[in-house]
Structure 1
Amino acid sequence: MSVSTVHSRRLESVSLALLAALPVLMAIANRSAAAVITIAGVLSLVAFVARGERLRDALPPRGPALYAGLAFIGWAIVSLLWSHAPRTSLFVMAEAGLPFIGGVLLLLTLPAQWPARFIKAAALAFAAACILIIVELLLGLASREALGLRAQTFIFNRPVMLLLMLFFPLSIHMVRAGWRAWAFVLGALLIVTIEIATSGAAMLGLLLSAPAFLVALWSRRLGMIIAAAMLGGSLLLAPVKGDLLDALMPPRLIERLESVHAADRIEIWQDFAAALHQRPLTGAGFGTSARMAEAPFAADLPPDRGRLLAAGHPHDGFLQIWAELGFIGAILAALCGYFILRALARRDDRMVAAGVASMVAAAAVVSVFHGAWQGWWVGALMATTVWCSRQTAPSPASRQPKIP
């Protein structure tokens, strides 16, 4: 075995180890997904090249899917020309771009099949992350306070959302590796973690994704319809969601939902929709939500609109696409979603179900939480995509021929 091959395998192992350890690392440092996926992607690329392979040969074939993705990225870059906060736009683009590139590198360069020992390590890391979060919350974050770290319960919202999306493809890999019972145990542990945590977004994602997972296992066609409806409906309704809920929700119900700031969220959705109406075709520019209140057109908003533009984000990633990239950006995002669904449809039945569930969970979460371009969120999405794209390598025992 050559020296380059040894180095390649070591680098690949480190890359896989980072991917497996991601849940624990996020539980410790809740924004670490961006750095983890970026570093793992670079290591995987170096290992790939060290094996004597060329990245050019691993690139996807030219076609509508590739062009749609490049068009969306290109439109986001072009939108910097009319951004009223170009430095903020560039910072947000870098924050989202690095983990996105890292995830793409993992998709292109990691082996198509993963060994059972890696699946086991990832399952153990997943369980450890759940246990760490549960213990920390039950103890009132005492260890973090003792270390002088941030000790608010919401710091676990991000890792819990990651755990929710990763669980479905991880559970399929576990079943294929022969650990069906442990996959159920891991699912129960995830439910307990989400119940104890304070993330309403994760709870919403669980309530929607678990039934979608079961339906998709029963009928992949129906599962794909559910995923398409969730993505398409969320994007289509985003600009009018605030007005619809304001008109349909009884005031008493809004008051009862004060713990999740329902009234403020509805007003934020209305304010960002009003900002969209000022630039419906092009939007305000990529990454400008953080400073939307400073946009020149903010002065032209109706008197009853714009108060909560200073919130820094629209609490809806789909609405953020509309507000920042306009109708053109929304159309390009819809095209990207269509091709992602087409790529998912080429997977086997079980992984289709996992992909559908993760997609529904992600859509539910991003419809109510913070900015769509946060680095940790992009890293979490790319990690989930990588998990859904791989197969479980057969164990050595299963590869041995049976003796009649």
Structure 2
Amino acid sequence: MHPAFTIGGAALALMPLAMTLASRSSPAVVGFAALCFLAGCWRVDRAALRALLPPLVSPPGLAALAFLAWSVISLAWSPFPALSLRMLSEFLPTLLAAYCLARLAPGRLPGFAPTLGAVAVVLSAAYVAVDLAADMPVERFLGSRVAAFVFNRSVMTLDLVAGPLAFVLWRGRQRVAAVATLAFTMLGVLRSISGAAMMGLAAGLGMAGLARLLPRRAGIGLAGLGLGLAVALAPVEGDLLARVMPDAMHAQLTQSSSRARVAIARSFGAAVAADPWRGAGFGTSGRFAETPAAARIPGEMRVLLGVGHPHNSFLQVWAELGLPGAFLAALVLMLMLDRLARLPRPDLAVALGLVATSAAIAFVEHNAWAAWWTAGLGAAISWAREAARQRVEDAATRSFAMGGQA
């Protein structure tokens, strides 16, 4: 194995631990890992580099490229082109690195990588749980920021990576490591204060379980319905939640600032209604209160447009990219599900679990273009594709053995 593959595999495996120690580090780690695999393939397997292009001209790839093209076109009417360019400069390189890693790492990972990944997840989750239980003594000693939410990105990254990594371990007959990966992830997530990570954990486990129990079409249909509604109802999410969420539920979700999130969603939804056709422009959420669309809504609704983003990636797409962006995003998601529908049942369950986890977190949390989130998705998909490669290799081995016996 080329040394670059060994180093890149180690970087991929250690990414969750890096995120726990430095909560914005995943783009750098994933970018480094992708460069390692690119360098290794350049030296020993250039055909793999040529194989990076065909997926981009498949239906999902073309839809994704169309979405990115519309995002770039929206800079033409962005009131803050410098801000839009800065967001693109953070998002696009990380997206490219995540794509290269997901395409090149599977089949080229060193044998120790899944085990090292499990160790990284266990150490990350244990550190989060112990440090929070002890009132964050390490951060106090180092003079760092002492706030429980500093681990939120870390546990959301664990949410993404844990399922696919555990599946790789399980298929590699490392059953104890697979169970430990899931168990410690649950410990870290449940001990944290991230309501989004808890939602992602519950959604992922629930969807994976349903995908194993329901007929294939029912599982895909359920995922499609959920994603379709998330996109279609995003502009009216705030109004709907304001009507249906009782005060008792808000009281239970005080730590998650549910009232504020509903108010933010209502404000951004009103801005979408004021300019639904093209949006304010890519990456403008950071200054959305100053956009032309914001000026068209009542003054009291504009206050919460200054929070930086709507805490709902689907709503952010509507606000920044309008109806064309929302349509293209939905098209990408539906074409993705069409591809996933062809997977064997175990792989499908893990894939839909990852989809549900990602969608649940995206519905309530971060900036849609956050580089750390894109990097985490790239790492998770890399592990899922590695599990699929293991399945193919196992099938080939069994076929060869049966042929030999005959």
TM normalised by structure 1 equals: 0.92
Distance change >3 Å, CA 209–CA 110, structure 1 → 2: closer
1:135 to 127, 130, 134: 130
Partner in structure 1 of residue 53 of structure 2: 59
Distance change >3 Å, CA 235–CA 41, structure 1 → 2: same
Partner in structure 1 of residue 190 of structure 2: 195
Distance change >3 Å, CA 356–CA 274, structure 1 → 2: same
Partner in structure 2 of residue 320 of structure 1: 316
Tell me if the contact between 2:278 and 2:324 (Cα under 8 Å) persists in the aligned partners. Answer: yes
- Output one character per residue of 1:295-329: Cα deviation in whole Å (capped at 9) or x when no partner: 13322212442120011110111100000000000
Q: Distance in 1 between matches of 2:248 and 2:139?
A: 38
Q: Distance in 2 between matches of 1:109 and 1:210?
A: 28
Please tell me the residue identity of whatever aligns with 1:124. Answer: V
Cα drift, residue 348 of structure 1: 2.6
Please tell me the residue identity of whatever aligns with 1:95. Answer: E
Partner in structure 2 of residue 3 of structure 1: none
Name stretches of at least 5 consecutive residues in structure 1 with no aligned partner.
1-5
Partner in structure 2 of residue 285 of structure 1: 281
SS at match of 1:149: coil
Distance change >3 Å, CA 69–CA 122, structure 1 → 2: same
Partner in structure 2 of residue 80 of structure 1: 75
Higher alpha-carbon deviation: 346-355 or 214-223: 214-223
Partner in structure 1 of residue 24 of structure 2: 31
Partner in structure 2 of residue 17 of structure 1: 10
1:348 corresponds to 2:354? no
- Output one character per residue of 1:28-86: Cα deviation in whole Å (capped at 9) or x when no partner: 01111111111211221111111151423442253322211110000000000111111
1:338 corresponds to 2:334? yes
Tell me if the contact between 1:213 and 1:223 (Cα under 8 Å) persists in the aligned partners. Answer: no
Question: How many correspondences in the alignment?
Answer: 395
1:360 corresponds to 2:356? yes
Please tell me the residue identity of whatever aligns with 1:392. Answer: Q
Tell me if the contact between 2:106 and 2:383 (Cα under 8 Å) persists in the aligned partners. Answer: no
Structure with a larger share of its residues in helix? 2
Cα drift, residue 159 of structure 1: 1.1
Once superposed, what is the RMSD of the aligned Cα atoms?
2.1
Structure 1 stretches of 4+ moved >4 Å: 113-116, 398-404
1:92 corresponds to 2:87? yes
1:212 corresponds to 2:207? yes
TM normalised by structure 2 equals: 0.91
**1:146-157 equivalences in 2 (<5 Å):** 146-157=141-152
Tell me if the contact between 1:59 and 1:108 (Cα under 8 Å) persists in the aligned partners. Answer: no
Cα drift, residue 252 of structure 1: 4.4
Tell me if the contact between 1:279 and 1:326 (Cα under 8 Å) persists in the aligned partners. Answer: yes
The percent identity for this pair of structures is 34
Q: Distance in 1 between matches of 2:171 and 2:360?
A: 28
Tell me if the contact between 2:194 and 2:256 (Cα under 8 Å) persists in the aligned partners. Answer: no
2:325 to 320, 329, 332: 329
Q: Distance in 2 between matches of 1:122 and 1:202?
A: 20
Cα drift, residue 389 of structure 1: 1.7
SS at match of 1:371: coil
1:237 corresponds to 2:233? yes
Higher alpha-carbon deviation: 222-231 or 310-319: 222-231
Please tell me the residue identity of whatever aligns with 1:182. Answer: A
Please tell me the residue identity of whatever aligns with 1:272. Answer: F
Cα drift, residue 163 of structure 1: 0.7
SS at match of 2:301: coil
Tell me if the contact between 2:207 and 2:353 (Cα under 8 Å) persists in the aligned partners. Answer: yes
Tell me if the contact between 2:106 and 2:385 (Cα under 8 Å) persists in the aligned partners. Answer: no
Please tell me the residue identity of whatever aligns with 1:174. Answer: L
Please tell me the residue identity of whatever aligns with 1:56. Answer: R
Partner in structure 2 of residue 302 of structure 1: 298
Tell me if the contact between 1:276 and 1:322 (Cα under 8 Å) persists in the aligned partners. Answer: yes
Q: Distance in 2 between matches of 1:230 and 1:27?
A: 30
Q: Distance in 2 between matches of 1:120 and 1:383?
A: 15
Distance change >3 Å, CA 151–CA 42, structure 1 → 2: same
1:373 to 363, 369, 380: 369
Cα drift, residue 140 of structure 1: 1.3
Q: Distance in 1 between matches of 2:266 and 2:194?
A: 23
